[in-house]
Chains A and B, each alone.
Chain A
């Protein structure tokens, strides 16, 4: 059963949630019944304009799809390598100094709590639009996310294992490469794959605002009221996302064996 403190926290959370809900409803005047009433119209609109989807496999579209996937993969990989280094410096267990560890974690927290697309916008304004900027924006949030999760993986190494290598006289780099990375590699891979799944979705969105790739194509169809073509693209995106999810699920299970 819950103790008093837990009960108190639960009540407070429920209270905050209820209050937020009331404020939000009042502020927006949102009425779910109105949505239900409009649902019929929306459905007609969807079925008439968007269906049947029109698939186009022009070189431009295929290349855009490839660019979106490539953005996701390359940004996740580059970020993973950087994050592995940052996690070593950010983990209290391994970091050469406590101040450095705190600085690394603070930076990661800051970078992570600003959405990818906001980074993209900030970067576009200084670097101009293009895949390079989309790539950089994706790297920033992936890096921050993996730094945090990699630190958690490192903290799960049983206490004393790294110390035992210190005791044999191993250097910092020997400890990292002979103990930390072998112990953490499956955990790292699992989070890398998760990041890849997230990035496939994010890279589509970054594309919409100027990062290149399929998102840009989709937005241009929507803006030109070519809804059947747009729904074709949406289905392609869905298929790719599902395929990637399936593949990462499979790889994650294999890696954990």
Chain B
């Protein structure tokens, strides 16, 4: 039996202050899947994503990438495994003083020798590829713009280009649209969906908008207090299922979202 792209095997995370981040989480993701992770804030959505590329360490269990346990790797091997996993952040997390191109090319750092990376000596091939990627996300006019000067939606597009520059098999998106206005959010989600599909890439997206999750995802994972309480296709996400995830009826949830 071939190992799946990503497999969580009984993963638990307890924070130092005693808070249970994840509790006995097990699931797996195959190449090409577009998975939305939903749940109330504090349910462990970020912890789940960040334990995949080891931005956070887990307490017990295994996180397997193509059968290799990333939670046990360190040094060069860990860097290499991280290089194969793209990540997009809520706050974009670009190096704002650098240009758009320099930020996108950062996606290659995990593949380069450390001193070439330090000095920013990217190969001509990488530069061509970065420019092509920026063209693909309609940022071709901004190659030499300073990242700080872009709008929120444009910054997130640069974040996407940086992640795709890694040519990852797996893409992690931590609340990619939470800081954006509705129209930019739609553009970003459309891009993510189309680009991952074209490359047959697996994608895990943390979302707090249930509607967006239903529209874009092929599969939804619901987290509550660090435990997976729902795992299935969007059609199976009934109002009752939403209530088990959020602890409140779906109708009240909609109201809550309106207020916030």
Binding site for B on A (CB under 8 A): 158-161, 163-171, 173-174, 176-179, 182-183, 185-186
Decide if B55 touches A173 in the complex (CB within 8 Å): no
Decide if B166 touches A168 in the complex (CB within 8 Å): yes
B107 proximal to A (CB < 8 A): yes
Total residue contacts A-B, CB cutoff 8 A? 92
Selected from B78, B107, B114, the residue in CB contact (under 8 A) with A168 is B107
* 3 pairs of A and B residues whose beta carbons are closest in the complex: A169-B110, A169-B83, A164-B93
Q: Would you give the shortest CB distance from A95 to chain B, in whole angstroms?
A: 17
Decide yes or no: A163 and B93 within 8 Å by CB, A168-B82, A168-B83, A168-B166 being known contacts.
yes
Task: A166 to B83: give the CA distance in the assembly, Å.
Answer: 9
Q: Looking across the interface, which residue of chain A has its beta carbon closest to that of B81?
A: A169
Decide if B97 touches A169 in the complex (CB within 8 Å): no
Decide yes or no: A173 and B107 within 8 Å by CB, A160-B91, A182-B97, A182-B98 being known contacts.
no
Decide if A164 touches B109 in the complex (CB within 8 Å): no
Decide yes or no: A169 and B82 within 8 Å by CB, A163-B55, A177-B118, A178-B120 being known contacts.
yes
Residues of B within 8 A of A186 (CB): 97
Decide yes or no: A183 and B106 within 8 Å by CB, A168-B83, A173-B114, A174-B114 being known contacts.
no
Decide if B109 touches A169 in the complex (CB within 8 Å): yes
B94 proximal to A (CB < 8 A): yes
Decide if A158 touches B91 in the complex (CB within 8 Å): yes
Known: A158-B96, A168-B83, A168-B107; 15 extra A-B contacts, CB below 8 A, are A159-B91, A164-B162, A167-B53, A167-B87, A168-B86, A168-B166, A169-B80, A169-B81, A173-B117, A177-B119, A178-B95, A178-B106, A179-B95, A179-B106, A183-B95
Residues of B within 8 A of A166 (CB): 55, 82
Q: Looking across the interface, which residue of chain A has its beta carbon closest to that of B172?
A: A167
Decide if B106 touches A168 in the complex (CB within 8 Å): yes
Q: Quick one: CB contact mask for B88-111 with A, threshold 8 Å, 1 for yes? A: 010101111110001000110111
Task: A168 to B94: give the CA distance in the assembly, Å.
Answer: 12
B79 proximal to A (CB < 8 A): yes
Residues of A within 8 A of B78 (CB): 169
Decide if A160 touches B106 in the complex (CB within 8 Å): no
Decide if B85 touches A167 in the complex (CB within 8 Å): yes
Decide yes or no: A160 and B166 within 8 Å by CB, A167-B85, A168-B107 being known contacts.
no
Residues of B within 8 A of A178 (CB): 95, 98, 102, 106, 109, 117-118, 120
B residues 178-221 with Cβ under 8 Å of A? none
Decide if B109 touches A167 in the complex (CB within 8 Å): no
Q: Would you give the shortest CB distance from B185 to chain A, in whole angstroms?
A: 19
Task: A170 to B78: give the CA distance in the assembly, Å.
Answer: 10
Task: A160 to B93: give the CA distance in the assembly, Å.
Answer: 6
> Which among A159, A169, A170 has the greatest number of chain B C-beta atoms within 10 A?
A169
Decide yes or no: A160 and B110 within 8 Å by CB, A170-B117, A178-B95 being known contacts.
no
Decide if A168 touches B55 in the complex (CB within 8 Å): no
Q: Looking across the interface, which residue of chain A has its beta carbon closest to that of B95?
A: A179
Decide if A174 touches B109 in the complex (CB within 8 Å): yes
A to B CB contacts below 8 Å, 23 in the list = A158-B93, A160-B93, A164-B87, A165-B106, A166-B55, A167-B53, A167-B55, A168-B107, A168-B162, A169-B81, A169-B109, A169-B110, A169-B111, A170-B110, A174-B109, A174-B114, A174-B117, A174-B118, A177-B119, A178-B109, A179-B95, A179-B106, A183-B96
Residues of B within 8 A of A174 (CB): 109, 112, 114, 117-118
Residues of A within 8 A of B87 (CB): 164, 167-168
Q: Would you give the shortest CB distance from A190 to chain B, in whole angstroms?
A: 14
Q: Would you give the shortest CB distance from A149 to chain B, in whole angstroms?
A: 18
Q: Would you give the shortest CB distance from B161 to chain A, in whole angstroms?
A: 12
Task: A168 to B95: give the CA distance in the assembly, Å.
Answer: 13
Residues of A within 8 A of B166 (CB): 168-169
Decide if B82 touches A182 in the complex (CB within 8 Å): no
Task: A216 to B107: give the CA distance in the assembly, Å.
Answer: 56
Residues of B within 8 A of A165 (CB): 95, 106, 109
Task: A155 to B86: give the CA distance in the assembly, Å.
Answer: 25
Q: Would you give the shortest CB distance from B129 to chain A, in whole angstroms?
A: 15
Selected from B82, B96, B112, B119, the residue in CB contact (under 8 A) with A167 is B82
